[in-house]
Amino acid sequence: MTNVFDRLTGQAVVADELRGAAWAARGVSARLDAGVVGAVATSTGSAPRMFDGADGATFGHPASDGDDEVFSGLSRAAMTHAWLFTGPPGSGRSVAATCFAAALQCQSDDEVGCGQCRACVTVMAQTHADVRHVVPQGLSLSVLEARDVVQAAARRPGTGRWQIVIIEDADRLTEQAANALLKAVEEPPSRTVFLLCAPSVDPEDISVTLRSRCRHIALTTPSVADIERVLVDRDGIEPDRAAWAAAVCGGHIGRAKRLATDDAARAQREQALGLARAATRDSTAYAAAEALVKSADDAAKALSAQLDEAETEEMKTALGAGGTGKGTARPPRGTAGALKELEKRQKSRATRVLRDVLDRALVDLAALFRDALVVSMGARVTPMHPDKADDITVPMAGYASPEQLLRCVEAVLECRTALDVNVKPKFAVDAMVARIGMAMRREG
Ligand SMILES: [Zn+2]
């Protein structure tokens, strides 16, 4: 494996910044090892916060106003205890956070994130003892989970330089969970680093105070050409197929790979896009809506079942209830409660998986109507589904007016909103096809 930052597709600026920060952090770590920092802390009588690292780089956290400007006066290689990685889904924000964690722990003398040393390999495989990945499985990350994270983060690192916590989907932190985390981020132990990932810095995604304590790394959507190159070079996908998948994936690298390699993913996309035409006729609309919900449900169930089974077994074993053979003890007290709690979490995760699968389909569908709208207005914008131009979008632009197509886009977006506020998928999707049917029948 080459340097870990080579994995960041189309994010050269981000990779440079993180590399610089990882070098700076090494200097700080060395000073911590030498006890230099301890002396500073004692002399000032306060907890260690911000220190000069190697070559004038600074390790600490931003002042209370937390604006990015705080960093402008510092070296570009400045580093802090809390980072926020933002980017649209598929831009690789959690990959970037993981690469940075590897670079911070990397044992090579010549580079950061060499990709070869034990630290790099284990961080990237998510098995490093001092790098904890927190992936909210349900609809939200609870305050109890957050406290657990904070406690683990306070430990001294075992073999690594830093105790690192990566929180994926930090937008799923509940308000109390965010507050629990905020306290730890404000007074971080000297060897602790938090790496948060969220779609954007919008207050909907991340609390303003939490965001203000973090140094912000913004990833951008990779270009079609970048994605195509990764699929060919990294995954060995045949060039024609890679070009197609890169063009229709909406800038989402993981999805591009799935579309290129997984028949089920391609079938799901076809089904979602087929709804555009099916919805215009009463005879086909509701059957198509039902089929879409059912296939999303099936996909979600299959995925959840896999995860659930392994977890339940693991917990039963941990609780001493799942062992087999002679002398297996009766389940200890509290087992039922723990299993019930696990079931609750699994149910929440199943809901989220179903929603994610459906949301993917709706995003595809909205993009299809938008493509037709672009065609009908004669705008020069790259289509999201170039492969559907001849078959669907160009003909559709021929018989539907821009107003009608716009109403279709709105119908799909309203369905997404409805799912977000817990409307039953069947009702939400039925309502959507009804709206699309109405929009298309109306005189343009
Ligand atoms: Zn390394």
The alpha carbon of 118 and the centre of ligand 1 are apart by a number of angstroms equal to 7
Q: Please report the pLDDT score of residue 52 as a whole number.
A: 39
Instruction: Give the Å distances, CA to CA, from 177 to 144, 171, 187.
Output: 7, 11, 16
Instruction: Give the Å distances, CA to CA, from 176 to 170, 180, 183, 253.
Output: 13, 6, 11, 33
Please answer whether residues 366 and 276 qualify as being in contact, where contact means their C-beta atoms are separated by less than 8 angstroms: no
Q: Please report the pLDDT score of residue 121 as a whole number.
A: 96
Instruction: Give the Å distances, CA to CA, from 429 to 296, 393, 412, 416, 420.
Output: 12, 21, 9, 9, 13
The alpha carbon of 404 and the centre of ligand 1 are apart by a number of angstroms equal to 56
The alpha carbon of 2 and the centre of ligand 1 are apart by a number of angstroms equal to 10
The alpha carbon of 110 and the centre of ligand 1 are apart by a number of angstroms equal to 9
The alpha carbon of 105 and the centre of ligand 1 are apart by a number of angstroms equal to 7
The alpha carbon of 14 and the centre of ligand 1 are apart by a number of angstroms equal to 19
The alpha carbon of 111 and the centre of ligand 1 are apart by a number of angstroms equal to 7
The alpha carbon of 417 and the centre of ligand 1 are apart by a number of angstroms equal to 44
The alpha carbon of 256 and the centre of ligand 1 are apart by a number of angstroms equal to 29
Q: Please report the pLDDT score of residue 344 as a whole number.
A: 80
The alpha carbon of 36 and the centre of ligand 1 are apart by a number of angstroms equal to 25
Map residue 410 onto helix, strand or coil.
helix
The alpha carbon of 103 and the centre of ligand 1 are apart by a number of angstroms equal to 7
The alpha carbon of 12 and the centre of ligand 1 are apart by a number of angstroms equal to 19
**Distance between CA 53 and CA 59 in Å, rounded?**
6
The alpha carbon of 156 and the centre of ligand 1 are apart by a number of angstroms equal to 20
Q: Locate all alpha helices (DSSP H) within 6-132, ordered by sequence.
A: 12-34, 36-44, 69-72, 93-105, 118-124
The span from the first CA to the last CA of the chain, in angstroms, equals 57
The alpha carbon of 233 and the centre of ligand 1 are apart by a number of angstroms equal to 22
The alpha carbon of 95 and the centre of ligand 1 are apart by a number of angstroms equal to 16
The alpha carbon of 35 and the centre of ligand 1 are apart by a number of angstroms equal to 24
Nearest residue to 36 (alpha-carbon basis) of 190, 162, 237, 225: 190
Residues across the chain? 444
Please answer whether residues 414 and 400 qualify as being in contact, where contact means their C-beta atoms are separated by less than 8 angstroms: no
The alpha carbon of 25 and the centre of ligand 1 are apart by a number of angstroms equal to 14
The alpha carbon of 308 and the centre of ligand 1 are apart by a number of angstroms equal to 34
Token pair 């699994």: residue: 346
The alpha carbon of 77 and the centre of ligand 1 are apart by a number of angstroms equal to 19
The alpha carbon of 325 and the centre of ligand 1 are apart by a number of angstroms equal to 44
The helix (H) or strand (E) run that includes residue 148 is helix 143-153
Q: Please report the pLDDT score of residue 53 as a whole number.
A: 39
Instruction: Give the Å distances, CA to CA, from 150 to 53, 222, 413.
Output: 25, 33, 37
Q: Please report the pLDDT score of residue 337 as a whole number.
A: 78
The alpha carbon of 30 and the centre of ligand 1 are apart by a number of angstroms equal to 17
The alpha carbon of 96 and the centre of ligand 1 are apart by a number of angstroms equal to 15
Burial class (CB in 10 A: 0-12, 13-18, 19+), 239: exposed
The alpha carbon of 121 and the centre of ligand 1 are apart by a number of angstroms equal to 7
**Distance between CA 409 and CA 402 in Å, rounded?**
10
The alpha carbon of 125 and the centre of ligand 1 are apart by a number of angstroms equal to 13
The alpha carbon of 27 and the centre of ligand 1 are apart by a number of angstroms equal to 16
Q: Locate all alpha helices (DSSP H) within 319-401, ordered by sequence.
A: 335-377, 394-399
**Distance between CA 251 and CA 245 in Å, rounded?**
10
**Distance between CA 44 and CA 207 in Å, rounded?**
31
**pLDDT tens readout for residues 57-85:** 444 444 434 334 333 334 433 458 999 99
The alpha carbon of 107 and the centre of ligand 1 are apart by a number of angstroms equal to 5
CA angle 258, 363, 251 (to 5 degrees): 50
**pLDDT tens readout for residues 141-200:** 888 889 999 999 999 999 999 999 999 989 888 889 999 999 899 888 889 999 999 988
The alpha carbon of 228 and the centre of ligand 1 are apart by a number of angstroms equal to 27
Token pair 């924000």: residue: 93
pLDDT in tens, the chain (444 residues): 589 999 888 888 999 999 999 999 998 888 888 876 543 333 333 333 444 333 334 444 444 343 343 333 344 334 589 999 998 777 789 999 999 999 999 999 999 999 999 999 999 999 999 999 998 877 788 888 899 999 999 999 999 999 999 999 898 888 899 999 998 998 888 899 999 999 888 888 898 999 999 999 999 888 899 899 989 998 999 999 999 999 999 888 888 999 999 998 899 999 999 999 898 888 889 999 999 999 888 888 887 887 778 777 777 777 765 545 554 555 566 677 777 878 887 887 788 888 888 988 999 999 999 999 999 998 888 899 999 999 999 999 999 999 999 999 999 999 999 998 889 999 999 999 999 999 988 654
The alpha carbon of 93 and the centre of ligand 1 are apart by a number of angstroms equal to 20
The alpha carbon of 3 and the centre of ligand 1 are apart by a number of angstroms equal to 8
The alpha carbon of 424 and the centre of ligand 1 are apart by a number of angstroms equal to 48
φ and ψ at 82, to 5 degrees? Answer: -135, 130
The alpha carbon of 245 and the centre of ligand 1 are apart by a number of angstroms equal to 32
Please answer whether residues 425 and 358 qualify as being in contact, where contact means their C-beta atoms are separated by less than 8 angstroms: yes
The alpha carbon of 395 and the centre of ligand 1 are apart by a number of angstroms equal to 54
